[in-house]
């Protein structure tokens, strides 16, 4: 039954030979890997205003700084994208910041880059889902759903997780159309609104009237904007760059020639992102929307430009969908990056394994769990999550570009090239932005990644240490010969039945040095009963009876095995457990699973082997 449900939800298994057929083209790739970056246009302008227009500043002051901040962010976008284009061609097997840092800067920086970008992907899911739900409840007809914000977020995470478990190609096809619909509607909003505002076309348009009900933390005029608030506003706007590294991380997912297709996708994404973000900043500066948790800035712009009609409704639905689907970028890259780090030995090896649908299923599930925890902790509020967001992004940007400086100089024989100089400039700029983010938003939550990243790096090192220790202990010197072992077999019995006799026959076939059976009893009556059964069946295997007046089983068996082991040197003990196997799932509830509990305890005992001899029940 479970297998049938899995097939219905996830789909039929795919052969490893089908991996090449799961690669995606530019149009689908833009939807899969760029939805995160493009969707940030729905909230980046709003996040700038939440900082620059808040008390003791004012909406008027905040709006006056909006376009200059947008220009600075756009320049930063050009610098970062140009660097990642070179990264794509230099590292066509993907891995992005982690691989570039590992190959050029060493283990420590690569682990910092890996931890930072993994945190970024978790936050991408949480922020995108929270912003998507915010767009839905910004529709006046759905305003009453505010109280269900967190359950709606968790439901969206569950849905996107299930779709991604079906495979990158299939999830890309599902999510491609909504991405392009959002680009179309958002472009229409900008074109219609800007022509109305600048040229007076279509009847012209006036600024939005100041609404005190929405502006619970904003005053209309007056106040002043300090340098720290201005820098914090810039760092909030810089979240528009999140997701630009995703294409460089996922180059192997593209059709051949993968580097060329990935580079075209990255440049296309940058053009779309830069145009929509800068256009929204200009439109907001003209129409004066109010930053509010009850109605998003984009919703206010759409409502004012289009009116409360079907076009506005479709814009909000498209915005909500693209924000929800922006999480898909993280679902495409978090499992892939986790698999690379796992292959290097810094994460559990399970993350390097592909599932039935040729996706790294364990990484998909871990991402869903971590992002759901963030949603619950922060109540699904986008603004509460944003300060955690940019730190990891710009850490990975900086390390990646510094790594490309080293790579390009090495390739040029130690000489500076135009590409190396550009990467150096980009690394310096993103490092400055990182410092701005940490300093300006430290008390607002940026301190969290500053603590979490080192903890994750420590976790990486602990995992690596475990695997290295294991490899050293398993290594076989050329002159090593395994010592001859004495073999003792102990069959655990409760009474004499077919399962017991089958287990005894199996134990005898092992031809051990010593063979005995052991029975744990709680009173003299039980001891007499097992003794009579042993005599009736004329069993010639010695029977040891262990008394357990407190009706325990596990501890007396462990004590008996310890005493037995102390009598012999260089001995290995095999404990044979007769075990009933039933065919119906509910029949397992009728048995106490004693063998399973005992196996769990014996597993951690040295020089001990546990063998189950199943006896299958027939359902006639």
- CATH number for the domain including 263? 1.20.1740.10
pLDDT score for 4: 58
Residue 276, pLDDT score = 93
Q: Is residue 588 part of a domain?
A: yes
If asked whether residues 463 and 490 sit together in one domain, one would say no
Q: Are residues 73 and 166 in the same domain?
A: yes
Position 382 scores a pLDDT of 65
Q: By CB neighbour count within 10 A (0-12 exposed, 13-18 middle, 19+ buried), where does 233 fall?
A: buried
Instruction: Give the position of tokens 């968790």.
Output: 154
Instruction: Kindly tell me the sign of the dihedral angle through the C-alpha atoms of 386, 390, 393, 395.
Output: negative
Closest CA to 615 of 503, 484, 491: 503
Task: State whether 417 and 282 are in the same domain.
Answer: yes
Residues 157 and 254 in one domain: yes
Is 475 part of a structural domain of the chain? no
User: Which residue ranges in the chain fall short of pLDDT 50?
Assistant: 16-17, 19
258, HSE (Cβ side, Cα atoms, 13 Å): 19
**CA–CA distance, 18 with 611 (Å, rounded to integer):** 38
Strand runs labelled E in 494-542: 514-521
Domain boundary among 432, 467, 502: 467
Domain check: are 226 and 371 in the same one? yes
Neighbours of 487 (CB within 10 A): 17
Residue in the block written with tokens 């991996």 = 19
pLDDT, tens only, 76-101: 888 888 888 888 888 888 767 888 89
Provide DSSP, 558-590. HHHHHHHHHTSSSEEEEEEEEEEE-SSGGGGGG
Residues 225 and 97 in one domain: yes
Same domain? 245 vs 295: yes
Q: Is 616 exposed, middle or buried (0-12, 13-18, 19+ CB in 10 A)?
A: exposed
Q: Tell whether 385 is covered by a domain.
A: yes
Is the pTM value of this prediction over 0.75? no
Does residue 412 lie within any of the structural domains?
A: yes
| In a shared domain, residues 367 and 516 | no
Hunting for tokens 């409704």 — which residue is that? Answer: 313
Q: Between vectors from CA 399 to CA 236 and to CA 422, what angle results, nearest 5°?
A: 90
Q: Do 251 and 397 fall within a single domain? A: yes
Q: What is the pLDDT of residues 514-529, one digit of tens each?
A: 999 999 998 888 889 9
Same domain, 431 and 496: no
Q: Is residue 7 situated within a structural domain?
A: no
Count up the domains in the chain and report the number: 2
CATH code, 578: 3.40.50.620
Q: Domain of residue 213: give its range.
A: 16-467
* Whether 33 and 70 share a structural domain: yes
Provide CB contacts within 8 A for 519, sequence distance 6+: 492, 493, 494, 527, 530, 543, 544, 545, 546
**Shared domain check, 576 and 438:** no
Residue 10 covered by a domain: no
């Amino acid at each position: 039954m479970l297998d049938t449900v899995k097939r219905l939800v996830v789909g039929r298994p795919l052969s490893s030979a089908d991996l090449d057929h799961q690669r995606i083209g530019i149009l689908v790739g833009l939807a899969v890997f760029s939805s995160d970056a493009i969707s940030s246009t729905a909230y980046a302008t709003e996040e700038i205003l939440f900082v620059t227009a808040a008390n003791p500043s004012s909406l008027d002051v905040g709006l006056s700084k909006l376009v200059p901040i947008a220009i600075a962010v756009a320049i930063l976008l050009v610098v970062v994208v140009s660097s990642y284009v070179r990264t794509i061609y230099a590292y066509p097997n993907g891995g992005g910041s982690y691989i570039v840092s590992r190959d050029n800067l060493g283990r420590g920086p690569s682990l910092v880059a890996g931890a930072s970008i993994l945190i970024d992907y978790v936050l991408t899911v949480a922020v995108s889902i929270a912003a998507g739900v915010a767009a839905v409840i910004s529709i006046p007809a759905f305003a009453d759903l505010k109280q269900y914000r967190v359950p709606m977020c968790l439901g969206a995470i569950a849905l996107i997780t299930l779709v991604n478990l079906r495979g990158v190609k299939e999830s890309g096809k599902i999510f491609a159309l909504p991405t392009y619909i959002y680009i179309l509607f958002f472009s229409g909003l900008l074109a219609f609104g800007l022509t109305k505002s600048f040229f007076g076309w279509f009847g012209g348009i006036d600024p939005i009237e100041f609404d005190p009900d929405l502006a619970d933390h904003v005053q209309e005029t007056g106040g002043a904007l300090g340098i720290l608030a201005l820098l914090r506003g810039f760092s909030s706007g810089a979240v528009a760059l999140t997701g630009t590294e995703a294409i460089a991380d996922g180059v192997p997912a593209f059709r051949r020639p993968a580097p060329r297709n990935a580079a075209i996708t990255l440049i296309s994404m940058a053009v779309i992102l830069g145009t929509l973000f800068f256009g929204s900043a200009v439109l907001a500066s003209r129409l004066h929307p109010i930053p509010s948790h009850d109605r998003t800035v984009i919703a206010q712009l759409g409502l004012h430009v289009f009116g409360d009609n079907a076009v506005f409704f479709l814009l909000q639905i498209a915005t909500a969908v693209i924000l929800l689907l922006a999480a898909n970028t993280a679902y495409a890259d978090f499992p892939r990056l986790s698999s690379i780090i796992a292959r290097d030995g810094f994460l559990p090896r399970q993350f390097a394994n592909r599932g039935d649908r040729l996706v790294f299923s364990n990484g998909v599930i871990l991402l869903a769990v971590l992002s759901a925890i963030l949603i619950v902790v922060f109540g699904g509020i986008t603004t509460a999550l944003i300060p955690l967001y940019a730190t990891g992004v710009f850490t990975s940007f900086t390390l990646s570009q510094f790594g490309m400086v080293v790579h390009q100089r090495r390739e040029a024989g130690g000489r500076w090239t135009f590409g190396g100089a550009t990467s150096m400039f980009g690394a310096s700029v993103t490092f400055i932005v990182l410092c701005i983010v940490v300093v300006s938003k430290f008390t607002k939550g940026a301190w969290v990644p500053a603590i979490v990243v080192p903890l994750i790096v420590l976790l990486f090192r602990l995992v690596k240490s475990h695997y290295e220790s294991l490899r050293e202990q398993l290594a076989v010197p050329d002159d090593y010969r395994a010592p001859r072992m004495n073999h003792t077999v102990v069959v655990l019995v409760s009474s004499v039945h077919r399962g017991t006799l089958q287990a005894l026959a199996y134990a005898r076939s092992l031809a051990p040095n010593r063979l005995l059976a052991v029975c744990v009893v709680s009173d003299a009556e039980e001891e007499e009963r097992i003794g009579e059964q042993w005599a009736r069946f004329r069993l010639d295997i010695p029977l040891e009876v262990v008394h357990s007046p407190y009706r325990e089983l596990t501890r007396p068996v462990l004590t008996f095995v310890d005493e037995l082991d102390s009598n012999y040197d260089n001995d290995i003990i095999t404990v044979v457990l007769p075990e009933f196997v039933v065919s119906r799932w509910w029949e397992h509830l009728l048995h106490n699973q004693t063998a399973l509990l005992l196996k769990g305890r014996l597993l951690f005992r040295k020089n001990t082997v546990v063998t189950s001899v199943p006896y299958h029940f027939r359902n006639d």
